[in-house]
């Protein structure tokens, strides 16, 4: 079941013209959001922020806006069945919305952490990193390679061996009573969860530093996790980094400072 061009379609196949640039070049922009309490209005859903993300990319690419009400209608239809929605806008302003379920082992990942793998090849560098476009091949390839190494997530790097982000989210490290995250300078996708956590931590008067993650800095972290809208906060207990293995505490108290954001009393 999915939504395309103003219609709810009960099928597993979509029909696109063979000249569609979204099919040929990956020319589309998208956002992925988690629906809380089956409501677009729930504060943790961040519906408006996701629409704003799409709008920002469309403006920069000089593409026409979609019918925003149609987008809302399609999302309202699919959230009855799925807790996670992926909303795609094509250059011809058509909207495609699909849904999926949360990972079955999500609670275990959140509690016990996962294994990460550092994608150390130039092959895995993302283009237009600060936009979510249909050309997500490099991140997808990195994730496939990570899974072949027995890991659940890949960590992407720049040419200076600085860790940037994971294939699906933003990085958080903890040391010296302070969080560290990578800077929003066009080299990463500044996630919506990342921006909300930055605001929340500032309100809690918890220091956050945005800097490049050098090998020395990474070695000094007491805990490392990543965030995205679907899985919230996932810690790493082991990271496969070239010829060495780094180990971290997935139960470190610092992680609760991030997880507490999702436990706040929220107006439904």
For 20-29, what is the mean pLDDT? 96
Q: What is the spatial distance between Cα 152 and Cα 180, in angstroms, rounded to a whole number? A: 22
Cβ(31)–Cβ(89) under 8 Å? no
Are 221 and 151 contained in the same domain? yes
Cβ(182)–Cβ(243) under 8 Å? no
Are 42 and 93 contained in the same domain? yes
For 132-154, what is the mean pLDDT? 96
Residue 265: per-residue pLDDT: 62
What's the pTM? 0.95
Q: Structurally, how many domains does the chain consist of?
A: 2
Residue 150: per-residue pLDDT: 97
The answer to the question of residue 268 being in a domain is no
Using DSSP's 3-state secondary structure scheme, residue 263 falls into helix
Query: pLDDT digits over 204-252, tens only?
Result: 999 999 999 999 999 999 999 999 999 999 999 999 998 899 999 999 9
Question: End of a domain among 100, 128, 153?
Answer: 100
Give the helix ranges, DSSP H, for 40-191: 47-61, 68-78, 106-112, 137-148
Q: Is pLDDT of 267 > 80?
A: no
The answer to the question of residue 172 being in a domain is yes
Are 80 and 114 contained in the same domain? no
For the chain, give the mean pLDDT.
Answer: 96
Q: What is the spatial distance between Cα 231 and Cα 109, in angstroms, rounded to a whole number? A: 9
Sign of CA dihedral 187, 118, 140, 257: negative
Residue 268: per-residue pLDDT: 47
Identify the band that residue 195 occupies on the pLDDT scale cut at 50, 70 and 90: very high
Range of 120-129, 194-203, 257-266 with top mean pLDDT: 194-203
Q: Is pLDDT of 264 > 80?
A: no
Query: pLDDT digits over 67-113, tens only?
Result: 999 999 999 999 999 999 999 999 999 999 999 999 999 999 999 99
Q: Which domain, by its residues, includes 229?
A: 106-263
Residue 198: per-residue pLDDT: 98
Are 95 and 123 contained in the same domain? no
Q: What is the spatial distance between Cα 151 and Cα 124, in angstroms, rounded to a whole number? A: 16
Question: End of a domain among 51, 77, 100?
Answer: 100
Are 27 and 52 contained in the same domain? yes
């Amino acid at each position: 079941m999915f939504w395309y061009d103003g219609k709810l379609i009960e099928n597993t196949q979509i029909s696109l013209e063979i000249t569609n640039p979204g099919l040929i070049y990956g020319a589309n922009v998208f956002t992925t959001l988690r629906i809380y309490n089956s409501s677009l209005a729930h504060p943790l859903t961040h519906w408006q922020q996701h629409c704003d993300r799409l709008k920002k990319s469309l403006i920069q690419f000089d593409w026409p806006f979609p019918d925003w009400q149609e987008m809302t209608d399609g999302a309202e239809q699919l959230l009855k069945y799925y807790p996670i929605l992926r909303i795609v806008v094509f250059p011809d302003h058509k909207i495609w919305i699909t849904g999926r379920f949360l990972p079955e082992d999500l609670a275990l990942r959140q509690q016990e952490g996962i294994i990460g793998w550092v994608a150390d090849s130039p092959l895995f560098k993302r283009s237009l990193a600060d936009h979510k476009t249909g050309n997500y091949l490099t991140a997808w390839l990195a994730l496939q390679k990570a899974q072949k190494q027995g890991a659940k997530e890949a960590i992407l790097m720049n040419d200076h061996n600085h860790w940037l982000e994971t294939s699906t989210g933003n990085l958080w490290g903890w040391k010296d009573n302070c969080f560290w995250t990578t800077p929003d300078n066009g080299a990463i996708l500044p996630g919506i969860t990342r921006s909300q956590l930055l605001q929340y931590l500032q309100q809690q008067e918890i220091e956050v530093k945005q800097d490049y993650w050098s090998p020395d800095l990474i070695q000094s972290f007491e805990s490392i996790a990543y965030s995205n809208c679907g899985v919230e906060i996932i810690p790493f207990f082991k990271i496969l980094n070239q010829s060495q293995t780094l180990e971290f505490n997935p139960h470190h108290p610092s992680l609760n400072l991030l997880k507490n954001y999702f436990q706040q009393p929220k107006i439904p």
